[in-house]
Amino acid sequence: RKEVEQDPGPFNVPEGATVAFNCTYSNSASQSFFWYRQDCRKEPKLLMSVYSSGNEDGRFTAQLNRASQYISLLIRDSKLSDSATYLCVVRTGNQFYFGTGTSLTVIP
């Protein structure tokens, strides 16, 4: 079983749309959770950490459900610049485990 599973997409949405990404993880002992974004042939860049209480950063909202081992990311009012691959990342022990990423394209 994969440590982190994501729907690879692609998601193609119009500008201004709201889009949601989901992720599940397999190890209940995982300690920390993150969303990263990766542009083509670039390094992963931290978008936000994810907490059980949920957290929001501008147009981005992340949620963690430890009981279901489920993480989500909501992007409101999508911009063209949001087009990227969104990586669900889970820290277990001394490793960060990456999902395969969900591809988002925002269309004018």
Partner 1 sequence: EPEVTQTPSHQVTQMGQEVILRCVPISNHLYFYWYRQILGQKVEFLVSFYNNEISEKSEIFDDQFSVERPDGSNFTLKIRSTKLEDSAMYFCASSEEQSTEAFFGQGTRLTVV
Among 76, 96, 103, 105, binds partner 1 (CB under 8 A): 96
Q: How many helices (H) and strands (E) does the chain have?
A: 0, 11
Among 24, 26, 27, 49, binds partner 1 (CB under 8 A): 49
Q: Return all residues near 35 (Cβ < 8 A) that are at least 6 apart.
A: 21, 46, 47, 48, 50, 60, 62, 71, 73, 86, 87, 88, 89
Q: Is the peptide bond before 10 cis (omega within 30 degrees of 0)?
A: yes
For strands 19-25 and 4-6, give the pairing.
antiparallel
Binding mask 61-90 for partner 1 (x = CB under 8 A): --------------------------x---
The window from 12-20, 41-49, 58-66, 68-76 that contacts partner 1 (CB under 8 A) reads 41-49
The window from 12-20, 36-44, 56-64, 76-84 that contacts partner 1 (CB under 8 A) reads 36-44
Footprint on this chain of partner 1 (rule: CB under 8 A): 31-32, 34, 38, 41-46, 49, 87, 91, 93-101
